[in-house]
């Protein structure tokens, strides 16, 4: 995923020209539909006067529907003396994930809240265009005198630029959870690394790319895959496969683990016409429908 420089979104004026004492530094990351674990630049929310956020209230940072946190980001006061207490993560009644940050004590000097380590999963229901994190909550609702007319503010996280026709699947080494077009699913095997190659369960990879179980046959160490008019043959413990009658050498052979055929992901994914990406411990593959 290509990353861009930190963008600036200043939430300063209402339509009527009223000054608001908070600014937000947002992100301009490019986000892909159907992919998990997409990294977003850090964001910051800065008071431009003291005591903007009120104690004992919460600041709620709410994602749009269809976008979720792959892992919990880090929330901290990076400047000033605002004190925060508990940080909770949940879903609201609309099915939108949010982080609730409780304010322990108000600031005596303008302070900044920083959210870092943001990784997002964007499912296929999310349209192309900007993705915003909405800031709301009791700590804002209690400050009507400084936030006249509105208590919800938008901070840009990035922009969805992916093609909705792309299929995708993402595996994590050592995890039974994988993502099929952005939807979390559970399998009965885990990817692993051997001889510097990443092995994934063949059947789950093929299913994610629209190849049903009926098009996959296993017989005495031989796997036959039918994808439209294309036929692929793989052989457990053999460093070759046959694609439409043509023999293709493999640098690592497929193997059987606990009743599942595991294979080096890049070779077969590329034979199927998929693009392969590696991000930390994840393997992400995309393929046009």
Residue by residue, DSSP assigns 65-119 as: TTEEESSPPEEEEEESS-EEEEEEEEE-TTS-EEEEEEEEE--SS--EEEEESEE
The CATH number of the domain holding residue 95 is 2.60.40
Does any domain span residue 137? yes
DSSP percent split of the chain into helix, strand, coil, nearest 5: 5, 50, 45
| Structural domain containing residue 124 | 22-161
Same domain, 126 and 189: no
Does any domain span residue 8? no
Same domain, 154 and 175: no
How confident is the model over 49-66, as a mean pLDDT?
Answer: 91
Same domain, 98 and 149: yes
Same domain, 193 and 141: no
Same domain, 135 and 254: no
Same domain, 30 and 154: yes
Domain total of the chain: 2
Q: What is the pTM of this model?
A: 0.61
Terminus-to-terminus CA distance in the chain, angstroms?
20
How confident is the model over 106-129, as a mean pLDDT?
Answer: 90
Same domain, 152 and 59: yes
Looking at the predicted structure, is the pLDDT value of residue 141 above 90?
Answer: no
Q: What are the tens digits of pLDDT across the range 245-283?
A: 999 888 888 999 888 999 888 777 777 888 887 766 778
Same domain, 172 and 207: yes
Same domain, 31 and 145: yes
Looking at the predicted structure, is the pLDDT value of residue 35 above 80?
Answer: no
């Amino acid at each position: 995923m290509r990353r861009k420089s930190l963008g600036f979104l200043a939430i300063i004026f209402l339509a009527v020209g009223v000054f608001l004492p908070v600014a937000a530094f947002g992100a301009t990351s490019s986000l892909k539909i159907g992919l998990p674990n997409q990294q977003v630049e850090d964001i910051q929310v800065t008071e431009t006067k003291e005591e903007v956020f009120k104690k004992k209230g919460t600041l709620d940072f709410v994602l749009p529907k269809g976008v979720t946190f792959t892992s919990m980001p880090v929330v901290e006061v990076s400047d000033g003396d605002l004190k925060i207490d508990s940080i909770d993560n949940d879903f609201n009644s609309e099915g939108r994930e949010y982080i609730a940050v409780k304010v322990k004590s108000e600031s005596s000097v303008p302070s900044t809240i920083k959210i870092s380590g943001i990784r997002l999963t964007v499912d296929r229901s999310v349209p192309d265009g900007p993705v915003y994190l909405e800031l709301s909550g009791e700590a804002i609702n209690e400050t009507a005198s400084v936030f006249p007319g509105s208590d919800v503010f938008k901070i840009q996280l990035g922009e969805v630029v992916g093609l909705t026709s792309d299929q995708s699947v993402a595996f994590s080494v050592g995890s039974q959870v994988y993502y099929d077009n952005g939807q979390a699913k559970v399998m009965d095997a885990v990817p692993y690394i051997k001889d510097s190659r990443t092995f994934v369960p063949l059947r789950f990879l093929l299913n994610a790319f629209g190849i049903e179980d009926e098009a996959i046959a296993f017989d005495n160490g031989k796997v036959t895959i039918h994808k439209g008019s294309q036929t692929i043959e793989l052989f457990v413990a053999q460093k070759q496969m046959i694609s439409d009658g043509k023999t293709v050498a493999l640098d690592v052979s497929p193997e059987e683990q606990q009743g599942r055929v595991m294979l080096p992901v890049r070779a077969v994914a590329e034979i199927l016409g998929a693009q392969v990406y590696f991000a930390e411990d994840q393997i992400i593959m995309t393929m046009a429908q």
